[in-house]
């Protein structure tokens, strides 16, 4: 089966093989390194909670104390659980408090002490992972009870006031108006914080801080809406930035359903060190696999900085790399919300046909993935009438190409933070197009050898050529050269590099051991 685009199956297989070869060295790098956030995530699973009076989580204080005494390369689990035994303490959070006060010293034990510490660390971490398992089973029961949305694509809508207590009623109103997925966009700059804020927050900027308590509050509110509406309403947040592994862990513990989790977004658009990001994304995706969470990748962002026609093949390359990294970490196709976007300049002749070609190419390359289709942003001008029409065209492409997750476009994009009334009008646009188009994707077949097929073939061919160059020159060098989104990010620079360490011979992380056993 070659599908509607008559793609060459041999070329598609070669593209995937090249993506594997390009990605494999990065996976090996991730397998041989750890980061402070990976270690903090493991300790969160083992039971460390809370924050000091300054708002710095105890888990940060504990990892900092271990690193100061023995370094990061051994992992923190064995030194921490050895100290628990030596100090005759059963509460790991209490140990963190004592460590922050300077009253506990850490060592790397050997012999029986090391074996005992490993066993204790694994027991405590396994208890945290069992909580994630229970939350996944809870989701399955709720979907069975309330059901999934009757139609695809799922309608995905952003809520973000900065105040979690304002977000909740807006999210519930959006669900009543037809949204299937509520995304709480994160406060500006949180991705560059090397700690996760604690508790409910009311002071975010252009978004609401992602915290475990905010996750819990919104999840409870949307569970109430699911019961009211008779369909399961999904919740999305962010596993990205310097605390990517911890955000994934907290999402699993609080039963979030989707997480933004791209392999290169933090590198390109937040200048986070590439090695830090690849190590963190592998662990975070292992957690997502265990939790049954759908990841959303960020290829749409490339098209806000690079030309959506000239650089379309870089989106395809990134999707193929994201697929490889996700599969290697244990994620199934049904969990791959691979991103792409409607970002071609609308003044360009044949722009709609080009958008159809790009969207259908993604759909056929990843037939079992719930692709995340992103609305126009770069070419929104402030003319709300034109913007609403452009969003309607975007919605139509989504219907014609069978996208899985459709983010609601706002006619006030780039003008103001959307009002509730803006969201309501945008949702009306989505509902009209999807209802009117129905299953149009079943009938839409491009002309054999026509414009759309030729364009898709060209983009795939260019993607294969780029992957061949990346295999020859390595993915890290391609990122450093500005291949994706025209951002140049060398592997020896960027934020968070000081929080990366190569594994010592005795490195141990019980969370990785358990998660890789499951994968």
The crossing angle, in degrees rounded to 10, of helices 274-291 and 244-253 is 10
* Rounded-to-integer distance, Cα 129 and Cα 248, Å: 12
**Greatest distance between any 2 Cα atoms in the chain:** 74
Q: Are 38 and 486 in contact (CB under 8 A)?
A: no
Pure H helices in 71-102: 77-87, 92-100
CA pseudo-torsion sign 283, 289, 294, 296: positive
Options 156, 372, 422, 508, the catalytic residue: 372
Options 82, 262, 300, 391, the catalytic residue: 300
Going by C-alpha positions, the residue among 194, 197, 135, 142 that lies closest to residue 164 is 197
372 is catalytic: yes
Cis preceding-peptide flag for 326 (omega within 30 of 0):
no
Strand partners for 259: 237, 295
Strand intervals (E) in 209-318: 234-238, 258-260, 294-296
300 is catalytic: yes
Options 265, 302, 324, 508, the catalytic residue: 265
130 is catalytic: no
DSSP 156-178: EEEE--S-HHHHHHHHHHHHHTT
The crossing angle, in degrees rounded to 10, of helices 58-70 and 36-45 is 120
Q: Are 279 and 494 in contact (CB under 8 A)?
A: no
What residues are annotated to the active site? 265, 300, 372
């Amino acid at each position: 089966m070659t599908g509607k685009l008559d793609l060459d199956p041999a070329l598609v297989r070669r593209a995937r093989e090249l993506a594997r070869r390009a990605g494999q060295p990065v996976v090996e790098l991730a397998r041989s390194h750890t980061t402070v956030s990976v270690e903090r995530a493991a300790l969160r699973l083992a039971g460390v909670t809370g924050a000091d009076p300054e708002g710095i989580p105890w888990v940060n204080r504990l990892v900092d104390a271990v690193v100061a005494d023995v370094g990061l390369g051994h992992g923190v689990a064995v030194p921490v659980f050895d100290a628990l035994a030596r100090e005759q303490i059963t509460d790991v959070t209490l140990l963190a408090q004592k460590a922050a006060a300077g009253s506990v010293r850490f060592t790397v034990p050997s012999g029986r002490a090391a074996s005992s510490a490993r066993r204790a660390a694994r027991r405590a971490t396994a208890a945290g992972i069992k909580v994630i398992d229970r939350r996944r089973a809870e989701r399955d029961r709720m979907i069975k009870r309330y059901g999934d949305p009757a139609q695809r694509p799922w309608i995905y809508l952003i809520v973000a006031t900065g105040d979690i207590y304002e977000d909740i009623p807006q999210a519930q109103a959006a669900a009543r108006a037809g949204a299937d997925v509520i995304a709480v966009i994160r406060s500006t700059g949180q991705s560059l914080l090397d700690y996760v804020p604690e508790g409910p927050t009311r002071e975010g900027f252009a978004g609401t801080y992602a915290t475990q308590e905010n996750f819990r509050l919104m999840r409870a509110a949307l569970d109430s809406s699911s019961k009211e509406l008779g369909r399961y309403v999904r919740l999305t947040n962010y596993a990205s930035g310097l605390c990517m592994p911890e955000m994934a862990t907290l999402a699993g513990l609080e039963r979030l359903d989707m997480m933004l989790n791209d392999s290169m977004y933090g590198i390109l658009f937040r200048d986070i060190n590439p090695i830090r990001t690849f190590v963190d994304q592998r662990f975070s995706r292992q957690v997502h696999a265990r939790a049954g969470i759908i990841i959303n990748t960020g290829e749409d962002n490339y098209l806000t900085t690079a030309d959506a026609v000239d650089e379309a093949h870089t989106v395809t390359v990134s999707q193929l790399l994201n697929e490889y990294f996700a599969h290697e970490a244990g994620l199934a196709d049904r969990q791959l919300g691979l991103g792409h976007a409607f970002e071609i300049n609308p003044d360009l002749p044949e722009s709609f046909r080009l958008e159809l070609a790009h969207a259908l190419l993604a759909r056929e390359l990843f037939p079992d993935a719930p692709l995340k289709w992103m609305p126009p942003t770069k070419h929104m001008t402030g003319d709300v009438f034109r913007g609403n029409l452009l969003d309607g065209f975007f919605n139509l492409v989504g219907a014609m190409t069978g996208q899985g997750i459709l983010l609601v476009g706002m006619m006030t994009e780039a003008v103001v933070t959307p009002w509730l009334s803006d969201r309501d009008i945008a949702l009306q646009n989505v509902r009209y197009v999807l209802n009117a188009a129905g299953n149009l994707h079943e009938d839409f077949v491009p002309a054999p050898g026509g414009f759309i097929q030729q364009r898709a073939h060209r983009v795939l061919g260019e993607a294969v050529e780029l992957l061949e160059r990346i295999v020859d020159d390595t993915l890290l060098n391609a990122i450093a050269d500005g291949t994706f989104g025209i951002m140049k990010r060398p592997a020896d620079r960027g934020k968070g590099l000081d929080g990366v360490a190569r594994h010592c011979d005795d490195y141990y992380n019980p969370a990785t051991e358990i998660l890789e056993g499951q994968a």
